[in-house]
Copies of this chain bind each other. A is one copy, B any other.
């Protein structure tokens, strides 16, 4: 029986799980994310129980999986951290570094909402929007640059934090919906209340929500035309809107496409455990290969 530790470093919390073949979770913990890369290495070293044969570590930002280097994270304020080597030196265990969204997508495609599907896009929509592209069962990383669907042009004229104008993330992320509603309504509300208000006919909420849905439909139509995934797994905070999100999105996408394959849109199944499970899968894959 193979046993690994999967670790997912988030902006606030870090999740660790001991996982066996096939994704069976033996134990899991959530801890506050340490302030420095060295603190993260310390945390991992303290969490490795006996019997673990490899470590999978998922981190946010720009990640070069092939070299095992966390190239950059604005959130966690680091640059060029060779996490795979650092954790391996400290624990004596082979360590695979992954990207949080790509690891989450791998877990959803192997253990979650897209089990058994070969061509999958995982689309978490929260503070930002990113994608994990899994084609023929294999993650596409492009040296860490793949999946930045939050920064494609959605055809509007609002600025994005990345420096460009019109980004998908600046109109359709959960954070953007809240920010744009506050700017127009003159009062703040959580995204789920804005979505509910849009359903109830609040014209400002409805306008903001319609614009987000249209932008997401455009991005999904692009994916369908160029990559033709069978399934798009929608995750992140916005996916908790449920039918209010999935029904209009499915309907608009089918209307937009003509001859293309229409992907099935499904909610993520693994919630906030996806990154940690995906990190464990990377370590299990390493031991298998």
Residues of A at the B interface (CB closer than 8 Å) are 62, 119, 131, 133, 135-136, 138, 140, 142-143, 145-149, 151-153, 155, 162-164, 218, 221-223, 225-230, 256-261
- Complex CA–CA separation, A164 to B149 (angstroms): 23
Q: With a CB–CB cut-off of 8 A, which chain B residues contact A143?
A: 228, 261
Instruction: Give the Cβ gap from A65 to chain B, nearest Cβ, in Å.
Output: 12
Min CB gap A120→B, angstroms:
11
With A143-B228, A226-B131 as given contacts, are A221 and B261 in contact (CB-CB < 8 Å)?
Answer: no
Judge whether B226 and A152 touch: CB under 8 Å.
yes
Contact B218 A149 (CB under 8 A): no
A106 CB to closest chain B CB, in angstroms? 15
Q: Kindly report which residue of chain B lies nearest to residue A261, judged by CB atoms.
A: B145
Q: A230 to chain B: which residues have CB within 8 Å? A: 142
Give Cα distance in the complex from A228 to B133, angstroms. 11
The count of identical subunits is 2
A270 shortest CB reach to chain B, Å: 22
A145 touches B228 (CB 8 A): yes
Residues of B within 8 A of A257 (CB): 164
- Contact pick for A152, options B131, B135, B145, B222, CB 8 Å: B222
The distance from the CB of A100 to the nearest CB of chain B, in whole angstroms, is: 17
Interfacial chain B residues near A136, Cβ < 8 Å: 138, 140
21 A-B pairs with C-beta separation under 8 A:
A131-B226, A133-B226, A135-B135, A135-B140, A136-B138, A142-B228, A142-B229, A143-B261, A146-B228, A148-B228, A149-B225, A149-B226, A151-B259, A152-B222, A152-B225, A152-B226, A153-B222, A155-B155, A162-B258, A163-B259, A222-B222
Query: Which of B133, B155, B164, B258 touches A258 (beta carbons < 8 Å)?
Result: B164
Question: Given that A140-B136, A153-B218, A155-B155 are known contacts, is A226 also in contact with B261, CB under 8 Å in the complex?
Answer: no
> When A152-B222, A260-B151 are in contact, do A142 and B119 touch as well, CB less than 8 Å?
yes
CB closest residue in chain B, given A150: B225
- Give the residues in chain B near A140, CB-CB below 8 Å: 119, 135-136, 227
Q: Which chain B positions have C-beta within 8 A of A135?
A: 135, 140, 142
- Within 8 Å CB of A226, what residues of B? 131, 133, 146-149, 152, 222-223
Given A142-B119, A228-B142, A148-B222 contact (CB < 8 Å)? no
In the complex, the answer to whether A256 meets B225 with C-beta atoms within 8 Å is no
